[in-house]
């Protein structure tokens, strides 16, 4: 009987700068894009407390440090191992996975992306490039926006297998510097104002209506856009009328010149 692979807990992290740079690269490509993720993996045993007591668990901490946009598979999803090896030579960090970007698309892997993932997991040529005992991370990046394009979002999802026999699951991404800065910011926050009470009272009295909601703003933007479109149509109609009048004037001038002769 084949031995079961050990289970390990996994944490995934990156910095806000690294993630924003990844989106900047894929958005600059002006289309679907893919690439490789480089970083580091550290493992340590931690004591976890459960209902039946405490036990030691192996925890793998994956830190994503570089998102490198590059082409390493063709339109059918066939992976080029030599292209991955060349990309690894350009980086100081270890290969820890790959990512795919599709604009305005759901954060669900396509059949081709799953085919690419299976090749990366099983190829001996690629396995030696990954940290020992670690399955490759698969990242999905996308964008979305509201109906009138007033709000744009950058969306992401990262999938991972605990071992080669398990299924892919979503991993929560920890943005390290944002988490730390937020704690420090709120820790030093003081809910005090230098404005005196009479000034606050007069300000409160001057405000008659509550601030608009997001839906109200979007409805206003849609109405404004519709009004602008109607104005453009009217301007086009006036321009055509002016052109017709100009042609009529030219015709009458030519007719008058013929009568004078």
pLDDT tens readout for residues 133-171? 889 999 999 988 777 777 778 899 999 987 778 788 898
**More confident call, 260 vs 93:** 93
Residue 1: what pLDDT? 43
Instruction: Return d(Cα 154, Cα 145) in angstroms, integer.
Output: 9
Question: What would the two tokens of residue 32 be?
Answer: 């679907």
**More confident call, 196 vs 26:** 26
CATH number for 9-182: choose from 3.40.140.10, 2.40.128.110, 3.30.420.10, 3.40.50.720.
3.40.140.10
DSSP-derived 3-state class of residue 93: coil
Question: What would the two tokens of residue 69 be?
Answer: 């946009």
- Model confidence at 126: pLDDT above 60: yes
Residue 62: strand pairing partners? 12, 41
So where are the chain's domains?
9-182, 214-260
Helix H segments across the chain?
16-28, 81-89, 111-122, 124-127, 176-187, 197-206, 214-260
Residue 238: what pLDDT? 84
* Range with the poorest average pLDDT among 22-31, 199-208, 228-237: 199-208
**pLDDT-derived band at 33, boundaries 50, 70, 90:** very high
């Amino acid at each position: 009987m084949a031995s079961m692979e050990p289970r390990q807990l996994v944490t995934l992290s990156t910095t806000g700068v690294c993630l924003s740079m990844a989106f900047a690269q894929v958005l600059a490509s002006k289309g679907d894009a893919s690439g490789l993720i480089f970083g580091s993996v550290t493992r340590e045993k931690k004591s976890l407390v459960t209902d039946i007591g405490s036990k030691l668990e192996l925890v793998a901490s994956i830190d994503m440090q570089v998102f490198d946009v590059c082409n390493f598979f063709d339109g059918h999803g066939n992976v080029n191992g030599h292209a991955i090896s060349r990309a690894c030579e350009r980086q100081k960090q270890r290969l820890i996975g790959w990512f795919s970007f599709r604009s305005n698309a759901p954060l669900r892997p396509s059949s081709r992306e799953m085919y690419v993932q299976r090749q990366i997991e099983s190829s001996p040529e690629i396995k030696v490039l990954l940290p020992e005992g670690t399955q490759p991370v698969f990242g999905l990046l996308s964008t979305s926006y509201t109906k009138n394009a007033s709000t744009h979002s950058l969306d992401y999802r990262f999938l991972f297998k605990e071992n080669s026999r398990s299924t892919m699951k979503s991993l929560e991404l920890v943005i390290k510097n944002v988490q730390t800065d937020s704690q420090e910011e709120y820790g030093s926050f003081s809910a005090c104002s230098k404005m005196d009470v009479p000034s606050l009272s007069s300000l409160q009295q001057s405000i008659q209506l509550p601030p608009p909601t997001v839906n109200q703003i979007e409805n206003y933007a849609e109405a404004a856009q519709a009004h602008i479109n109607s104005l453009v149509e009217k301007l086009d109609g006036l321009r055509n009328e002016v052109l017709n009048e100009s042609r009529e004037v030219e015709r009458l001038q030519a007719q008058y010149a013929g009568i004078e002769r």
